[in-house]
Each structure stands twice: as C-alpha cells, then as structure tokens.
Structure 1
C-alpha cells in the first residue's frame, strides 16, 4: 500500500485529484468480495478495479484430515 499511496500522491501533485471531480481511493482486500469490501458510497461509482490473482487458499490445494473421513482435498482445481 505504501507504493500505491506514493503513486497517488504524485498523481495529486500533477492535478489528477481535486477540482477535476476524480476521487482516487484505494481499498485493499479480496476482489471476490468487492460489494462488501467497498463502503456503501462507492458501490456503483467505481470506474477502475485493479486486481491480482489470489494466491492463497482459494487457488492452492488444501487438505483436511478428519477421524473416520480420511484426507479430504479442497481448493485444488482451477476453474469450474
């Protein structure tokens, strides 16, 4: 977030934010949860969303071991 905020500062110094009506804000979170990530005043107002693929439990294989159930894999397939 430090780099993002520094870039926004440079953009503001060059007049991108302010009187031109462009509001620049950054929200850091899971883009799959965008509707709950954004504050209500931003819903329906966003012009750009920059995302990066999730590199966590949603894409990498997870294993669960339960007595009597054996080993269960989940989050191990890409796509539907």
Structure 2
C-alpha cells in the first residue's frame, strides 16, 4: 500500500474516499469488485458497518449502494479525495 492509503474496512464512516487500488490475487474477487464499481479513481463512502466483526459493510460506490464482506473490503485500497 502507498503512503496515506488505507483499506476500505478500516476507513471511517461518512467520509468520502477515492479508490487507489485493488490488492488481491483472487481473480474472481477482483472481477467481482470491479463489476460492483470498485475501480481506481471511483469515489466511495462507507455508510454502515455491521455490529459483530464490522461486516457486512454498506458502501456507496458512485450512485450505487453495495454490501461487501470483510475479505472484499480488505482488498480495496482507498485514500483522501
């Protein structure tokens, strides 16, 4: 991860961020994230986190709202807008 880059699962709620990268060797996971709109440069915002273990995580990606599991959120790198 680059300096000042964080994983989506650790990003605070209600604070928009920009996707800076996807870090996974799982091709299916990578393609699934891309299909949901997690592309480099996309603006995302964590809306809610689950009570136990913080998952699922509700995320606004562009105009869509998606739910991701911890494993997916850990693969998404984000940074300040």
Structure with the bigger percentage of strand: 2
- Normalised to the residue count of structure 2, the TM-score between the two structures is 0.23
Structure with the bigger percentage of helix: 1
- Normalised to the residue count of structure 1, the TM-score between the two structures is 0.23
* Structure with the larger RCO, 1 or 2 (CA within 8 Å, 6+ apart): 2
